């Protein structure tokens, strides 16, 4: 349930509560039925408003619909996402993050932060390198079958048939003027990869996620960007429960 759906439900209950408050008391009832109805509705209104505040500003649940984060996250897992933390600092390398991607989709994506603003980043022969240092990634399902480089003010990917640059018309690749260096991830931009590297729609397909502002290019260019929050706990099913 989204915050907007919850707020709509609270509004409907509040409207019903208001109607009962204005309803004339039927002779001989002493208003008992109306009072009982109000007594039951008021706690729902208070609880609904409290839940809305929590899922809007503090934390919310997130359901895993695909296998892009296997083996870390299984299909149908339910997570708790911290929406408060990134108000104070930017995402850390390795965080599992929920965010709106720069491509059309009805739902947020969930991926792992791999490259951050200012990093030099490449994928070569199945290994990810950040600033020249190979990452130890025990969480991946299998090594990526592609190579990737941040270079020449763009994102280049090689699937074994030659290098191809991600087209700014189909992904989020800021213009040259937004970069601090041709081989470093631009300000406010992140490389996000799924742990199931070879079955994940992520940065090797659509370029950069952003921590704010508006997407620079791509199908959602000009629309708001940002991070929904950091996934920190799997709480369902109980057999899969763990802190991320």
Q: What is the pLDDT of residues 176-218, one digit of tens each?
A: 999 999 999 999 999 999 999 999 999 999 999 999 999 999 9
Q: Region 75-86: what's the mean pLDDT?
A: 88
30, 33, 111, 200: the catalytic one is 111
How many residues are there in the chain? 244
User: What is the C-alpha to C-alpha distance for residues 239 and 2, in angstroms, rounded to an integer?
Assistant: 26
Q: What's the confidence (pLDDT) of residue 233?
A: 86
> Is 177 labeled as catalytic in the residue annotation?
no
Q: What is the CATH number of domain 66-243?
A: 2.10.109.10
Q: Which residue has the tokens 């609880």?
A: 47
β-partners of residue 172 are: 207
> Is 111 labeled as catalytic in the residue annotation?
yes
Mean pLDDT, the chain, rounded, equals: 85
- Segments making up each domain of the chain, as ranges: 3-59, 66-243
Q: What's the confidence (pLDDT) of residue 50?
A: 47
21, 30, 66, 68: the catalytic one is 68
């Amino acid at each position: 349930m989204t915050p907007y759906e919850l707020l709509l439900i609270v509004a409907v209950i509040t409207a019903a509560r208001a109607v009962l408050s204005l309803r004339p008391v039927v002779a001989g009832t002493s208003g008992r039925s109306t009072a009982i109805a109000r007594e039951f509705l008021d706690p729902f209104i208070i609880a609904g408003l409290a839940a809305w505040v929590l899922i809007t500003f503090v934390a919310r649940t997130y359901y895993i619909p695909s296998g892009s984060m296997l083996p870390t996250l299984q299909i149908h897992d339910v997570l708790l996402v911290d929406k408060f933390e990134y108000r104070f600092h930017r995402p850390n390398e390795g965080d599992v993050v929920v965010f709106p991607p720069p491509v059309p989709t009805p739902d947020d994506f969930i991926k792992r932060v791999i490259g951050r603003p200012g990093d030099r980043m490449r994928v070569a022969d199945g290994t990810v390198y950040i600033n020249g240092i190979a990452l130890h990634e025990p969480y991946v399902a299998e090594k990526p079958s592609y190579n990737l480089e941040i270079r020449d003010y763009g994102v280049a990917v090689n699937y074994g048939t030659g290098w191809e640059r991600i087209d700014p018309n189909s992904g989020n690749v800021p213009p040259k003027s937004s970069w601090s260096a041709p081989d470093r991830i631009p300000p406010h931009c992140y490389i996000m990869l799924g742990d199931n590297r070879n079955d994940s729609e992520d940065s090797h397909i659509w370029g950069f996620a952003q921590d704010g502002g508006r997407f620079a290019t791509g199908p959602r260019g000009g629309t708001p960007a940002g991070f929904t929050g950091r996934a920190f706990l799997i709480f369902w099913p109980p057999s899969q429960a763990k802190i991320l």
